[in-house]
Structure 1
Amino acid sequence: MRHGKKHNHLGRTTSHRKAMMGNMATSLILHKRITTTLAKAKALRVYVEPILTKGKDDTTHSRRTVFSYLQDKEAVTILFREIAEKIASRPGGYTRIVKLENRLGDNAEMAIIELVDYNTTYGADTAQTAKKSTRRRGGSGKGKTEVAAPAATAAVTPADEVAVAEAPVEEVAIAEAPVAEATTEVPAAEEAPEAPAADEENAEKGE
């Protein structure tokens, strides 16, 4: 029974497992991303990250140690020249595992294992989201209102002046209108005295 043993044999002998891990680590260094089963991806992460840490120290001893695991000169060269510069400021955690849908044939759990510093999609999304949030929360709305306010006042001021200048003309026209109406109603005022005459005749009859 293997209680408490975290080492996953992956159903292979020791020599087969070492060769497989070395080949997968070489493929990861060359292509920066590989697709495999979730169990192999977790085993490869434990296997390859110490090798990547070793690549930060570019010495003959480190190169020979890494070559003993990878058995590939091109992968060793890329590790010490390119990848070491990318991961120089990262204190571990060089790989990322992303789960995929299960495999169609045997329903095995699949995953992608990739080098974190070679996938800029996640960082770009985060940066864009942060910029958008700051633009929405920031003074964009305030700036627009502040800029629009002076423009509105500048546009309204000439119109107000024109209205004020035209106002006396309209008032004069309105003042003249009642005068014309008063002159037309003058005959009606002349007919008004006839009413007292009728009252006098009624008074005489009453007497």
Structure 2
Amino acid sequence: MRHRCRVHKLGKPADQRKALLRSLSTQLIRHGRVTTTKARAKAVRSQVEKMITLAKDGSLASRRQALGYIYDKQLVHALFDQVADRYGDRNGGYTRIIRTIRRRGDNAEMAIIELT
């Protein structure tokens, strides 16, 4: 049973899962939209929203936490510079998940996750 289990396992060990979520988060912040499976999109949503919330805070400690998670240093600085005018008045809900057609081959549910 998976009652009260908050971590999406994604069928991977913990280190691979963390690397996958970090890379998907970095790509989503860089490009604004990523096509992936629905389960991965739901898992990466919480991580990206945490990074945007850290950027809205704007403190040095928040910047260091974001630098420890996102792979690209210049991307973190750009995120902290641009997030105030883009998401300043919004409390959460920075991403949108749009379901698309199933993947050919294994029939996995696909989705597009994008920043709003």
- State the TM-score, normalized to the length of structure 1: 0.53
RMSD of aligned alpha carbons: 1.3
Compute the displacement of 1:62 (Å).
1.3
Q: Partner of 2:105 in structure 1?
A: 105
Q: Partner of 1:83 in structure 2?
A: 83
3-state SS in 2 of match to 1:62: helix
How far apart are the structure 2 equivalents of 1:12 and 1:54?
27
Superposition map of 1:1-207 within 5 A: 1-116=1-116
Query: Which structure shows the higher strand fraction?
Result: 2
How far apart are the structure 2 equivalents of 1:83 and 1:20?
24
Query: Which structure shows the higher helix fraction?
Result: 1
How far apart are the structure 1 equivalents of 2:17 and 2:84?
26
Consecutive unaligned residues in structure 1, runs of 5 or more: 117-207
Compute the displacement of 1:115 (Å).
0.7
Letter in 1 for 2:90: R
CA-to-aligned-CA distance 1:121-147 (integer Å, 9 cap, x gap):
xxxxxxxxxxxxxxxxxxxxxxxxxxx
How far apart are the structure 2 equivalents of 1:35 and 1:12?
19
Letter in 2 for 1:41: A
How far apart are the structure 2 equivalents of 1:32 and 1:83?
13
Which of these two proteins has the greater Rg computed from alpha carbons? 1
Q: Report % sequence identity.
A: 47
CA-to-aligned-CA distance 1:53-87 (integer Å, 9 cap, x gap):
11012222111011111132022012111233201
Q: Is the 8 A contact 1:37 1:111 kept in 2?
A: yes
Q: Is the 8 A contact 1:52 1:84 kept in 2?
A: no
Residue 59 to residue 6, structure 1, CA distance change in 2 (3 Å): closer
Consecutive unaligned residues in structure 2, runs of 5 or more: none
Compute the displacement of 1:3 (Å).
3.5
CA-to-aligned-CA distance 1:143-166 (integer Å, 9 cap, x gap):
xxxxxxxxxxxxxxxxxxxxxxxx
How far apart are the structure 1 equivalents of 2:43 and 2:52?
15
How far apart are the structure 1 equivalents of 2:26 and 2:85?
18
- State the TM-score, normalized to the length of structure 2: 0.93
Compute the displacement of 1:101 (Å).
0.3
Letter in 2 for 1:57: D
Number of positions where the alignment pairs a residue of Structure 1 with one of Structure 2? 116
